[in-house]
Amino acid sequence: MKIERAEVIVTSPNRNFVTLRLQTDDGLVGLGDATLNGRELAVVAYLKEHVVPLLLGTDASRIEDTWQFLYRGAYWRRGPVTMAAIAAVDMALWDIKGKAANMPVYQLLGGASRDGLMAYGHASGPDLPSLFDSIREHQEMGYRSIRVQTGVPGLRAIYGIAAQSALDGGEERYDHEPARRGAYPTQEDWDTRAYLRHLPTVFEAVRNEFGPSMPLLHDGHHRMTPIQAAKLGKALEPYDLFWLEDCTPAENQEALRLVRQHTTTPLAIGEVFNTIWDFQTLITEQLIDYVRAASTHFGGISPLKKVMDFAAQYQIKSGCHGPTDISPVGFAAQLHVGLAIHNFGIQEYMPHGARTNATFKQSMTFENGMLHPGDNPGLGVELDVDEAGKYPYEQAYLPFNRLADGTIHDW
Ligand code: KDG
Ligand code: MG
C-alpha cells in the first residue's frame, strides 16, 4: 500500500481550507486537514515543497513511523505551520487505514466509549436581550451546553460577539461562516477592567433566566493577566461554569498556578498548542481540567490520542477546539478520538456553512445536542474536488485588538 499521489487542495467555499489528499497504489484515498486560520498558504508551501516529495512511494500503513520521520527528521520541531502539515499527513493515513480495514477510525482507536459526544455551541450578543435570544436559538438547534460571550459597555466591537459585526455594518458573523475576507485584519477594542466588572453580572442574569442546570462556558481569549484571571474565576464561582477557557496567554504554563490557587472554576486551555510539551506542566501539576488541543494544530490523531491518555492519568478531560476554521476533515478526526477515549469531556461545535458542507460530504451527525462521527470506513468525509475547485483562496485574517491608548492587546 504505497502513496502514489499527494495533492494539496485549497478551497474557500465559505472560508479557507487546506486539505491534503493522499492516494495509494491500490486506489484508497485519505484526507487530512492542514488549515491554519489566517496563515493558510504557509502550510500549503510547507506541504508542497517539503512533505509531499518525501511521501511519494512510501508505505501508507506506517502512520507512527511517518509521523516520527516528519517530526524528528526535519530537525526543526513544533510550531503551528509544521504541526498543521504533519497533522494533515497523520489524518490522511488514519483515513486510509480505516478504509483498508473497512472500519471507522474510532474502531481502530479501541472502539466507542460512549454513544455520542456532548457538544457546546456559541451564544453571544452585545446586550442581554440579544444574548438571551442567541441562547434560545442554540437550544432550538439542539444544544444543551452553551458558551456565553457578551458585549462590554463602552467597547464598540470585541471578538466573539456575533451580532456586533452586523451592528457595525458588516454582514459577517465573527467566527461563523462566511469568514471576514480582506487584505488587512479588522481592529477591535479591549478594556480588561470594564470586562471584569461586567461579565459576572451577565452570568448572574443568564442563570436567573435559564436556571442552574445548563452547562455554561466562557472564553477569555488569553486577555487577562494571572491575577485578573484569578479574580474572574472567583467572581464566576456562584454561576457554576463548566469551564473558563484561555484565561491567560497560553504560552506561560506557570501562570496557571496562581489562577488555580484562587479559584475552583474549572479551566480549559490549549487551542493554540502544537505538542504535548505545551501541556506538560499544566497536566502534571493538574493546573487545568480540560485539554483544548485540536487534531489539526496538534499534529493529528496520533498525538491527540497520546496527550489525552497522558491527561487521563490526572483526571483531565478533553474539550477539543472545534470552530469553523477546523475543516470537516479535522473535525471528524477529533470526533473519532473523542468517541474512543475514556476521558472525553465536551466538544466545541460550530456548524459549517452550506457551501462547505456541499464541498465536504460528511457522515457526522448532530442530534439532541450530541455528535457522532458516523460509521463510514475511515474518517467519514469525502471531498468533492470539482466543488472545491469553484472556490479559490481569498485572503482572510482574524481580527486584532487595541486598547484605548492604541496599545496592541492579546485577544
Ligand atoms: O482561528 C482561531 C479561532 O478559531 C478561535 O479564536 C476561536 O477561540 C476560539 C474558540 O474557542 O473557538
Ligand atoms: Mg477559544
**CATH code, domain with 125:** 3.20.20.120
DSSP helix/strand/coil, 82: helix
pLDDT at 157: 83
pLDDT at 86: 98
pLDDT at 320 over 80: yes
Q: Which residues are catalytic?
A: 159, 221
> Residue 377 C-alpha to ligand 2 middle, in angstroms?
31
143 and 56 assigned to the same domain: no
226 and 341 assigned to the same domain: yes
Domain edge (last residue) among 104, 135, 162: 104
Beta strand pairing call for 400-402 and 408-409: antiparallel
Rounded average pLDDT over 75-104: 98
Task: Please tell me the number of Cα atoms within 13 Å of 288 on its side-chain side.
Answer: 31
Q: With a 6 A CB cut-off, is 219 part of the ligand 1 pocket?
A: yes
126 and 264 assigned to the same domain: yes
Domain edge (last residue) among 58, 73, 104: 104
User: Nearest-CA neighbor of 173 among 163, 186, 187, 159?
Assistant: 163
CATH of the domain at 96: 3.30.390.10
Rounded average pLDDT over 2-24: 97
90 and 126 assigned to the same domain: no
Rounded average pLDDT over 133-147: 97
Q: With a 6 A CB cut-off, is 95 part of the ligand 1 pocket?
A: no
Residue 392: inside a domain? no
Q: Which of 15, 186, 219, 271 to mutate to test the pocket of ligand 1 (most atoms within 8 A of CB)?
A: 271
Residue 390: inside a domain? no
Task: Please tell me the number of Cα atoms within 13 Å of 326 on its side-chain side.
Answer: 28
Residue 294: inside a domain? yes
pLDDT at 172: 42
Cα–Cα distance list, 292 to 223, 224, 276 (Å): 17, 18, 12
Q: Note down the domain range covering 99.
A: 3-104
User: Nearest-CA neighbor of 182 among 393, 401, 396, 12?
Assistant: 396
For residue range 201-229, list pLDDT tens digits in order: 999 999 999 999 999 999 999 999 999 99
> Nearest residue CA, atom 2 of ligand 1?
37
pLDDT at 179: 66
175 and 303 assigned to the same domain: yes
Residue 381: inside a domain? no
Residue 339: inside a domain? yes
Burial of 306 (0-12, 13-18, 19+ CB in 10 A): middle
pLDDT at 156: 86
For residue range 108-134, list pLDDT tens digits in order: 999 999 999 999 999 999 999 999 999
The residues, ordered by sequence, that sit 6+ positions from 164 with a Cβ below 8 Å of its Cβ are 126, 151, 156, 157, 158, 174
- DSSP code of residue 104: B
265: left (phi over 0), alpha (psi -120 to 50) or beta: beta
pLDDT at 168: 40
234 and 331 assigned to the same domain: yes
135, 206 contact by CB (below 8 A):
yes
Residue 363: inside a domain? yes
> Nearest residue CA, atom 12 of ligand 1?
323
Residue 198: inside a domain? yes
For residue 178, whether the previous peptide bond is cis, meaning omega lies within 30 degrees of 0, is yes
Q: How confident is the model at residue 275 (pLDDT cuts 50, 70, 90)?
A: very high
> Residue 77 C-alpha to ligand 1 middle, in angstroms?
24
Q: With a 6 A CB cut-off, is 177 part of the ligand 1 pocket?
A: no
Residue 53: inside a domain? yes
CA–CA dist 300, 326 (Å, integer): 12
Rounded average pLDDT over 394-399: 92
Rounded average pLDDT over 346-358: 96
86 and 143 assigned to the same domain: no
Q: With a 6 A CB cut-off, is 325 part of the ligand 1 pocket?
A: yes
98 and 187 assigned to the same domain: no
Cell 466588572: give the residue: 197
285 and 139 assigned to the same domain: yes
86 and 131 assigned to the same domain: no
User: Nearest-CA neighbor of 217 among 239, 188, 193, 187?
Assistant: 239
pLDDT at 170 over 60: no
pLDDT at 176 over 70: no
pLDDT at 181: 81
Q: Which of 40-49, 237-246, 393-402 has the lowest mean pLDDT?
A: 393-402
Q: How confident is the model at residue 166 (pLDDT cuts 50, 70, 90)?
A: very low
DSSP helix/strand/coil, 122: strand
Q: How confident is the model at residue 167 (pLDDT cuts 50, 70, 90)?
A: very low
Domain edge (last residue) among 104, 126, 150: 104
Q: What is the mean pLDDT of the chain?
A: 95
Ligand with minimal distance to 399 CA: 1
The residues, ordered by sequence, that sit 6+ positions from 309 with a Cβ below 8 Å of its Cβ are 341
pLDDT at 283 over 60: yes
Number of domains in the chain: 2
pLDDT at 17 over 50: yes
pLDDT at 250: 84
27 and 90 assigned to the same domain: yes
192 and 290 assigned to the same domain: yes
pLDDT at 161: 84
Q: How confident is the model at residue 163 (pLDDT cuts 50, 70, 90)?
A: low
Q: Tell me the whole-structure pTM to 2 decimals.
A: 0.96
pLDDT at 16: 96
